[in-house]
Structures are given as structure tokens and as C-alpha cells.
């Protein structure tokens, strides 16, 4: 009884049923919980997925299921927690699964590669790029040993490597990995995954200010995603938000605001009103409203962005830095200089803490690069997003890039 998936939004769910001569009530209950978790995950109801997979793991442990049966709900739960931003517990579970696979000599190459890809994404999101690259390359090497049958897993690992190389500003390597991943899925066998990777390639081009090519790819990714997932799936929100940033940069402010508000609505519905990933979208909307001189509404957006950051225990990360810088500029515009200076002092302290090199820039994309931010146990739920995340940057910062 196992269900496995490649991380969200790039996810392929594999159901395996271990054969036995007797099917017990516990087996049926475990299978049912796994299916419920899988269905919730596919629908973008990640909190429900976590609840079902946690129950499935508890059921497997209570009934003293074999190690081979326990590791599948454990991996699913680890992936859910990664999506939810509970990095410490996620890492613990991924490593327990990997250790069990190797000690028990369980021969399931796609599953082992999935676990390694999950760990790679986790390390990437916490700024541990060395271990991220090692885990992802191990996954790719495993999958190359069994070519043909593991296309979804291979495309996922290549996509994750593309994200990692984007963060490290190795743009050619990032582009090559994204293109390899796209080529694997071009037959239309997995449009949801294809949409994710096409969006990442578009994001990479946007970072290089190849605006026309970037917009074309992002619109293609959105069309594919809407066709395969529906118009309101949470996996669409990063691509929509990315389009908003692109439109903002091109001074197409009405289109930017519409995109940001749609991304916000989708993400609130999927993750709740206090999810950590909403903060940057609120900031983006605030930036657009500032361009309209709708300063009171912009202030409300920046305040909400800070509230979410603080509620999620993220008072001193790179997103908070950007929000503070935007907020300070607005307060200066409103001639509330004392408040603006307070924001700037706080931002300066965060910048020093994160050891960022700040350069002047008019606008940037690919934000939220995480140096190791004190702990891998970050509160809130930044999804196991295998998509590049965008934000409108303040004029005073040119932060390193990061993926969603």
C-alpha cells in the first residue's frame, strides 16, 4: 500500500499495492486514507492531504505494518510538510524513508529518486545548495539507470536542478535542465508538470529581461495549467503572479493588478488567509497601487504583508526586507519620515543579518533567495514549489533569485 508523488506543483502520483493473501480491515482503512490524501493533493487541498497522510502513517505504525508499507505514507507526509513549510519535520521524515530504503535494500528506483528530489528541494529552499545539488544529482543518476519508464520523475529532478542553478546564477545550466525536462514531457502525457517547467523557463528569460520570450512562455504555461488543472488550482498562482511582475515591469499596471489579485484569491482559497506565501503577493499589489497613487490602499497591503510575515515567525527574512523597503518608500512619499526611518533601520539590520550585497536596480524578479535562515523549521507553508517565485523588488535592493 503506497502512494508516492513527485513534489508539488510538479507531481506524479504513483499508487502501488503490496500483494498479500489476506486483506484485513486495517489494510482497507490504510488504502482509503492514502487515496483520500492523494485526491486532496491533486486538488490542491494540501492541508487535507497532510491530515489524511498523517492518519495513514499512524495507522500503518499502529498495525505494525512492514517497513516497506510504512515508508510510502511517510514520504507522502514529508512531501505535504515540505509544501506547508514545516521543513524540520519534513527533513526528518525524508531521511527516515531514505535510510529505510537503503538498510532494507528496497528496490524501487522511482520512489528512491522521489525521496532524493524531495530532499533536494528542501535543502534548496533552506539555502543549503551544496546538499541540494548532491541529492538532485543522485536522483538523476538513479533514473538514468532505468531509462524510459521514469519520465515524470526524471523531468521533476531536472526541473529542480534548473531551479537550483537559477538561484546560483548559472543561467545556461538552468536553461539546459529546463529544456531537457520540457522535452521529456512534450508529448502531453503530463500537462500539469509541463506547465510548471515551461513557467520556470519563462521566469529564467524574464530574469534576463527577455520580456517577449518570457511572456510567451508564461502565457503558454498558464494555458496548459488551466486546461489540465482548472482555472482555480493553487498550482497556477505562481505563474499568474509571475505574469503580474512582468506586466508591472512593462508598466502595464492594470494587467499587473488583475494578475496579482487573481493569484491572491487562488492562493488564499488553497492555503488560508495567513499562509506565508501570501505576503509577497500583498506586497506586489501594494506596489501597483502605489503606481496609481492609491496610497492608503497600498499602505493596507504592505501592513497585511508584514502581519503575515510576523504571524509566520518570519520577522527577519528576505521577504520581510523587501516589504519593509517598499513600505518605507511609501511612508516617505506620504511625508511620514519618522516612520519611514524606523522601517529602514529594521531593513538595514535584516540585510546585514542575511549578508546580502545590495545594488541599485529599478526592478527585479526572482526574489526570496534563502541563505540558511537560522533554522530549517520555518513556520507557515511555502509549498514544495518547484516553480520560480517572483516579486516586485524595491528600488534599493537587488536580492539574489529564488524559486517558488
Q: What is the pLDDT of residues 211-220, one digit of tens each?
A: 999 999 999 9
Q: Is residue 203 part of a domain?
A: no
> Hey, what's the cell of 218?
508564461
Q: Number of folded domains in the chain?
A: 1
pLDDT per residue over 137-167, tens digit each?
A: 999 999 988 766 678 889 999 999 999 999 8
Q: Given this model, what pLDDT does residue 141 score? A: 92
Q: Which residues of 330-364 are buried (b: 16+ CB within 10 A; e: fewer)?
A: bbeeeeeeeebeebbebbeebbeebebeeeeeeeb
Question: How much is the pLDDT for 134?
Answer: 96
Whole-angstrom distance, CA of residue 247 vs CA of residue 268: 22
Residue 356, domain extent: 226-404
Res 389: pLDDT: 57
Residue 399: inside a domain, yes or no?
A: yes
**Residue 47, in any domain of the structure:** no
Q: Is residue 233, in this structure, part of any structural domain at all? A: yes
CB 324 within 8 A of CB 397: no
Q: How much is the average pLDDT of 63-77?
A: 88
In a domain, 377, yes or no: yes
Is residue 208 situated within a structural domain?
no
Asked if residue 326 is part of any domain, the answer here is yes
Does the residue 114 lie in any domain? no
Give the three-class secondary structure for 272.
coil
pTM for this model (two decimals): 0.75
CATH of the domain at 356: 1.25.40.10
> To the nearest whole number, what is the mean pLDDT of the chain?
82
Amino acid at each position: 500500500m503506497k502512494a508516492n508523488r513527485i513534489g508539488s506543483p510538479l507531481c506524479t502520483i504513483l499508487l502501488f499495492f503490496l500483494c498479500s493473501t489476506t486483506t484485513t480491515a486495517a489494510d482497507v482503512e490504510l488504502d482509503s486514507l492514502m487515496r483520500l490524501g492523494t485526491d486532496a493533493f491533486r486538488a490542491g487541498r494540501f492541508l487535507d492531504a497532510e491530515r489524511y497522510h498523517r492518519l495513514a502513517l499512524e495507522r500503518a505504525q499502529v498495525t505494525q505494518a512492514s517497513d516497506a508499507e510504512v515508508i510510502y505514507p511517510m514520504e507522502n507526509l514529508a512531501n505535504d510538510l515540505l509544501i506547508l513549510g514545516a521543513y524540520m519535520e519534513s527533513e526528518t521524515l525524508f531521511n527516515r524513508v531514505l535510510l529505510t530504503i537503503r538498510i532494507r535494500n528496497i528496490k524501487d528506483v522511482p520512489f528512491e529518486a522521489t525521496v532524493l528530489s524531495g530532499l533536494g528541494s528542501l535543502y534548496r529552499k533552506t539555502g543549503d545548495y551544496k546538499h541540494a545539488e548532491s541529492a538532485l544529482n543522485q536522483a538523476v543518476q538513479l533514473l538514468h539507470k532505468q531509462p524510459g519508464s521514469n519520465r515524470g520523475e526524471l523531468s521533476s529532478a531536472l526541473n529542480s536542478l534548473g531551479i537550483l542553478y537559477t538561484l546560483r546564477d548559472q543561467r545556461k545550466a538552468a536553461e539546459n535542465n529546463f529544456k531537457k525536462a520540457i522535452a521529456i514531457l512534450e508529448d502531453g502525457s503530463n500537462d500539469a508538470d509541463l506547465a510548471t517547467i515551461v513557467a520556470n523557463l519563462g521566469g529564467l528569460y524574464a530574469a534576463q529581461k527577455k520580456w517577449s520570450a518570457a511572456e510567451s512562455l508564461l502565457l503558454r504555461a498558464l494555458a496548459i495549467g488551466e486546461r489540465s488543472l482548472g482555472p482555480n488550482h493553487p498550482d497556477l498562482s505562481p505563474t499568474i503572479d509571475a505574469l503580474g511582475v512582468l506586466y508591472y515591469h512593462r508598466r502595464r499596471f492594470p494587467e499587473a493588478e488583475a494578475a496579482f489579485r487573481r493569484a491572491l484569491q487562488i492562493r488564499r482559497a488553497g492555503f488560508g488567509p495567513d499562509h506565508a506565501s501570501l505576503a509577497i503577493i500583498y506586497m506586489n499589489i501594494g506596489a501597483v497601487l502605489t503606481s496609481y497613487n492609491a496610497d492608503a490602499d497600498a499602505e493596507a497591503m504592505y501592513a497585511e504583508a508584514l502581519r503575515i510575515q510576523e504571524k509566520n515567525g518570519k520577522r527577519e527574512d528576505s521577504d520581510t526586507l523587501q516589504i519593509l523597503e517598499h513600505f518605507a518608500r511609501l511612508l516617505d512619499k506620504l511625508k511620514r519620515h519618522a516612520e519611514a526611518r524606523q522601517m529602514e533601520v529594521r531593513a538595514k539590520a535584516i540585510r546585514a543579518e542575511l549578508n546580502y550585497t545590495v545594488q541599485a536596480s529599478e526592478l527585479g524578479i526572482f526574489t526570496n533567495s534563502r541563505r540558511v535562515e537560522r533554522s530549517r523549521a520555518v513556520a507557515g507553508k511555502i509549498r514544495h514549489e518547484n516553480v520560480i517565485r517572483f516579486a516586485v523588488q524595491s528600488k534599493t535592493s537587488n536580492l539574489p533569485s529564488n524559486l517558488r
